[in-house]
Every structure is written in structure tokens, then in C-alpha cells.
Amino acid sequence: MNRSSKFGTPWSTVKSVARPTRRLFQNSGASRRGNLVGLNFLFTLTDQENLRIAVEELAKQPTQLPQIDQVPDVSPNDLSQHGNNNSSLRKKGNKKFLISFNNNSNKTSSNNQKKQKSSTPSVFIITIEDRSQLLSIRRQISDFIEFDQQLRHEFPKSRPTLPSLDDRRKSFLLPRHLFTRKSTAEKLESYLRKVLSDSHLKSSAVLRDFLSVKSEKDTIRWKKTSNSNSIIDNRSVTNVVLKPHKPHKPSIDDYDLIKVLGRGCMGKVILSREKSTNRLYAVKVISKEWVVFRQEVDHTRTERDILAIASRTSHPFLIRLRESFHDSNQLFLVLDYYPGGDIATQLAKWHRFDDARCLFYAAEIVLGIEELHRLGIVDLKPENILIGRDGHIVLTDFGLSKQFNHSWQKTNTFCGTAEYLAPEIIRAEYYTFAVDWWSLGTLIYEMMFGITPFWADDQNRMYQRVLEDELEFPEDIMYDAISLLRGLLQRDPSQRLGCGPTGSLEIKSHPYFDYVDWDDVLNKRICAPYIPTIEHEMDLRNFDDVFVTMSPKLSLPKRDVPVEMQQCFTGYSFSENYMDSRSVNTLRASRSVNRSLADVTSLHRTNSSATLGCERYDRTDQDWNNSSYDLDQYISKCPTIMVGDTKYRNHLYLNKRISQFLLDDSHLNLADNSSSSSSTVERQTDVYPNS
Ligand SMILES: Nc1ncnc2c1ncn2[C@@H]1O[C@H](COP(=O)(O)OP(=O)(O)OP(=O)(O)O)[C@@H](O)[C@H]1O
């Protein structure tokens, strides 16, 4: 295929250089030299038609063997000497041949040559062109593999798979007519095309990082804007004056509000369509007026922080926050839309679930809670479990720290999910991750029997029952289920299932889950026993009519939020698209330093990824550098949790400690730390300047 004609790009100007590029993500000296490295190709995300992509393999550099005329002449006598280890030359006509008299060295040398040949990595030139820019970067296969792994981590659900890049075996196995030999470059090209045509992937930080300028050979050229005929401005990127990129500031105007899906204490959740991508999201709208006058600022900030932390990990069973922003009256959380409704609505419809459904949901919820605990988050609200189109669930709406408040009675008057509260919370004692295992026990009980174990008409009576009453079961229940529920609904948290030294493993290895392959659960390889009926995109039958018939319009505030109170919401904005390379690196680093972090924080169940939310919290905050006072104040207001024998102020405090630890490069032993952090600082100042 003639790529020049296909893309109209000056392929002839691309020189065949077969030098291996630096490893991707590994910022070497060049990266610290200036603002060249790390520069992004800001291709027009919505302008797919004008996006041109090409991948071409550079000719391999010939293996470096000694030049024939550099090898010294050897007398024929030398050839007869046995045991001569040195390579010698024999003349044959005009030609000279390299001969070795030592079998071993002969082998080694040819092995070395082979090795050298095969270890010379292929280098691919990726060219991407849109209306205004032309990107030309060099990557190796290993870079693609690393990129694919990053995507796999960030987007476990949907992403194109990196093709098998070695097709030799297939060529023997497949009949000839079925075997179409695609070059590696073509395979990589179609892989990249798929990535770039996925609206989520193409705006991800991982892709942004992959397509950024990493070495001096990588270039971005700007086309002359006056001429639409794809004329490239020949100035190299190094001498173009770089204007800081100001990302689009998200607002509710980016969405068409369609229908109300639900309503809670905090506000409405509205099914909305993002105008630029045509995708549906659930936008949670919270009135600032309500937040301020009900003194719920901390709660709303905590919710946003926890959502941001959870979004980082792309866990299959945790809701994903796409972005958050605010205007003068409202706060907005843009979440993935789950069309199957929530478990509460399902229970209202079916009253109780069959055994298979209970086991299926229980297993997925266990993994969701496990992940929350790994992130240092407690306080799961189990009634907030949403069902996806495929029947799998996600946990949402976690992190309302109202349940962490010491003055719990006061919190309770605000909005309660009292049925799931663990006895230690009701007794206003310090509590640990154990509270979530109690809540899980309550939820499984409810899914099995259609009623919570200590249900009562009157809330106070319910608390009393939670603290005192015997746990009762209907007669026809399986022994394993009874044993699991007794274990989870232990009043003494230290005796509760899941709270021993092996943590959640205690639950996962309980006989109730005997036939569960946890790896299959995590990878969603188990078919959901119930698939919600959804006939078309706008089918809202799984949501309560009471909400669906409400007006999706944003209501105007009855009174204005005082100007001085507006600053409470500084830094509320978040976008998953701005997870910069620092965060990616930190995430990678966090895995490698997990053990030492656990030592530092005495938090055996918290993983340092918890820092990411805090990092975002810090870094999206425009005035963060001057606002450590605010954070301290914020932390001081946060309720306390117990982790082992240590008392902590909520997860943010932990995050801050771990963040500081991570930011101290000496612990990390990462080559790319210093440079990546500097690029972050550059970029962070651009994020939502007015937020
Ligand atoms: N991402 C989503 N996809 C589909 N429906 C959703 C989504 N998020 C929320 N909902 C619906 O909206 C309802 C209310 O949402 P949510 O619980 O987050 O609001 P809230 O104001 O925090 O409520 P709460 O009173 O529990 O604090 C949910 O029960 C669910 O039915």
C-alpha cells in the first residue's frame, strides 16, 4: 500500500533510522532538557474523519560485524595450527572469509551474531495527522506491549487487544487461503486505529502519554492554519513557540439532560448524553445551597475524593467517575451509567433473590469491598449497588462520611441507611473495615430472605435489635449460608468473619463460596444469573417511575450561596483525562513499594494507590500550594477510624501520609520520578484554570 498517497504525508522525509528508541515511560536525560519531551499531540478527538494514522517499520540496521578489510591478513601456515583460538582468514580468489578454528568460539560467535540480530529491536514510526498537527514518533514493540498493559489496567472492560505479533506458527497451522500475512506494522496500525476510535481510550492519559514526544527523534509539526491543504509547517517542534494548552473546562452545557434516574439526600441523578461523544452518563447533581446550609461540605468533598480514588483503579465492581465540576449553584459528578437499576429496586420487585443470584452478587460485592479496603476506604453503603446491562454489579455512592461522624445521632437525622449500620457504629465506638463486613452480612441476609435481619418499624427499635437480638433464620436455609451470615453478623468486630489476620480471604474461603473461582469472578467470566431487560438505549424500565417522570431540569436555588462559601468548593473539579504521567508512574511505583508502605503506615490492608485520589485532590486544586492550611483544617474535622491498634483521621489523612512517602523519591528507586513530577507541575496549572 502506498502510504504516501494514502495519507498525503511526506513519507520520503522520514529517514530510515534503525536505532532503538528509549524505553517508553522511562524519562532519561533528554526529558529534563526542556519542554520538548512530554509534549502531547492534541489531536482533535471528535474529528475522527480527519485523523490519519500510519505505522511503518524502519529498516533494521545491519548487524555490526567486523569490516572485512579491518581483519588482518593471516599466513596460510597459521591455518594448520590446531588449537588456534583466534579467527583467521583464508584467501579464496579475491574474497576473504572469516574462519574460526575453535568450535566453541565459532558457535559462540555465530550465537552472538544471531543474538545480536534478534535482539536488535524493530523500531516503528507512528505518524498521526489531523487538521492542524503531524505527529511522528518512534516506538518499539516493547513500548506497545507496555502501553497495552497500561490500557488493560486502566480499561479492563473494553479495549482492543494487542494482536499477536508473531505469526510464524499460525502460518503453518492455517490453510494458506485463510492465512493473510499482515506485517507487524500493519497489525500495530490497526490496533492503534481501534484505540483511537474508542472515545474513552482516545482521551485517556495512557494514550496521551504513549503519543507524547519522548525523544529528540519524536516530532510534532504544526500545519499552517491558513492553508487547509495539509501543508506542514517545517519548523521543528523545538523552535515553535509553545502555547500552553488550555483544556476545555467541563460544564453541564456539555450534556443533554434526559431523565431523572434517582434521587437521594444529596440530589438528583440524571441520565445525560455527552454532546461531543453521544455517550450516556449518569450525572449526579448536588445543590451547593443545600450543601452549605446543611453543613455537608465535608461530606460532598469526601464523596468526590473517594470516587476519584476508586476511578483510578478501574475496578470492575466499583463505579467510575468520569469527571466532576461545578458552577455557581451546583456540583456535578459524571458517572458511568448502569441501565439495570439498583438492587433496592430489584428487591422491591422480586422481594428476594434465588440462591444463584445471591451467591453471584455476594461474590462480586466481596471483591468490590476488598478493593475499597485496599484503597483505604471504609463506609460502604450496600444498598447502593447498581446493575449493569450485562447483569454484573458495581458499588456506588460510597464515602458519605456522615456515617463516620462521632455525633452519630445528629448524622442520623440527616439521612440514614440505619439497617446496615454495624453495632460498633451505633454504639459510637471507633470502628474499622469490619463495619463493611457487617453491612455485607445484612445485605446478603436481605437478598436471601427479603428483609434485613433486625428490621423494625421504628428506627430506635431497629438499633436496639441490632445491638441485642438473636439472629434468626427460616428453617429451609442451607447450613453454609447460616454459617456465613453468623460469621459476618458477629457483634464483636474482632470475631467477625473477614477481620482475622487473613482479612477478606476468610470470607472468600468460606464454604458458602466453595464453588466460586475468584479469578473468574474478578474477570467477569461468570455469567450473571439475571440479565436486566433493556430493549433500547432509552429503556428506563429498571428505574422507579416516580423519578423517571420528574423534570430533568436543573432547579434554580432559592437563595444564593454566599460568595465566601464558594471557596469551599475550590478543587472540586476532576477529570480522568488529566491523570498525568506522574499518576501513572505513581500507580506503578505504588505496586512495587506496597510492602514497605504497609510497614510505614502499619496498614496491612491499605495499598498506596490510595494516594492517587489525594494527589488529584491536591493537584487539581488551583491554590493547593497555598492551601495546606485548608487541608489540615479539613483533616482535623474528619472523623477517626481505627486501623489495627492505630487511630487515624479518615482515609485522607492516610493518603496524605502515604503521598508524602511516595513523593520522597529516595524510597521509590524509580528512574523517571524527578522528571515526571516536573512535567506534572507544568501541566497541573492548566487544569481548569477557573475551577
Ligand atoms: N451511575 C448510575 N447509573 C444508573 N443509576 C444511577 C447511577 N447513580 C445513581 N443512580 C440511581 O440514582 C439513585 C440515587 O443515587 P445516589 O444514591 O448516588 O444518590 P444520593 O443522593 O447519594 O443518595 P443517598 O440518599 O443514598 O445518599 C440510585 O439509587 C440509582 O437508582
Q: What is the DSSP string of 447-508?
A: HHHSS-TT--SSHHHHHHHHHHPPP---TT--HHHHHHHHHHT-SSGGGSTT-STTTTHHHH
* CB of 342 closer than 6 angstroms to any ligand 1 atom: yes
Q: Is 107 annotated as a binding residue?
A: no
416 vs 148, residue with greater confidence = 148
Share of the chain above pLDDT 70, in %: 56
User: Quick check: 37 pLDDT over 70?
Assistant: no
Q: Does the CB atom of residue 262 touch ligand 1 within 6 A?
A: yes
Is residue 269 in contact with ligand 1, taking CB distance under 6 Å? Answer: yes
Cα 649–Cα 370–Cα 312 angle in degrees, nearest 5: 75
Catalytic residue among 254, 342, 379, 397: 379
Q: What is the pLDDT of residues 234-290, one digit of tens each?
A: 333 333 334 445 567 889 999 999 999 988 777 789 999 999 889 999 999 998 888
pLDDT for 529 equals: 94
Give the residue with greater pLDDT, 463 vs 635.
Answer: 463
ipTM of the complex: 0.97
469 is catalytic: no
Query: Regarding predicted confidence, which is higher, 428 or 66?
Result: 428
Which residue among 270, 299, 342 is best mutated to probe the pocket of ligand 1, counting the most ligand atoms within 8 A of its Cβ? 342
Given the CA of residue 394, which atom of ligand 1 is nearest to it?
Answer: 1
Burial of 74 (0-12, 13-18, 19+ CB in 10 A): middle
Q: How many angstroms separate the CA atoms of 278 and 552, rounded?
A: 18
525, 528, 529, 532 alpha-carbon torsion, rounded to 10°? -160
Cβ 335 under 6 angstroms from ligand 1: yes
Q: Residue with the nearest Cα to atom 19 of ligand 1?
A: 264
Test site for ligand 1: of 255, 269, 299, most ligand atoms within 8 A of the Cβ: 269
Residue 452 has pLDDT above 90, yes or no: yes
Structure confidence at residue 500 (pLDDT): 87
Per-residue model confidence (pLDDT) at position 606 = 28
pLDDT classification of 366: cutoffs 50, 70, 90? very high
The residue with greater pLDDT, 70 or 502, is 502
Residue 195 has pLDDT above 60, yes or no: yes
Give the distance between the most distant pair of CA atoms in the chain: 109
Spatial distance between the Cα atoms of 28 and 671, rounded to a whole number of angstroms: 8
Residue 428 alpha carbon to ligand 1 centre in Å: 27
Across the chain, mean pLDDT equals: 65
Cell 519542554 sits on residue = 35
Q: Which of 688, 670, 652, 685 is nearest to 25 (CA)?
A: 670
Compute, in angstroms, the gap from residue 268 CA to the centroid of ligand 1: 8
Percent of the chain with pLDDT over 90: 23
Would you state the cell numbers that stand for residue 665, as one nine-digit string? 523519591
Please check the confidence at residue 422 and state whether its pLDDT lies above 50.
yes
pLDDT at position 383 over 90: no
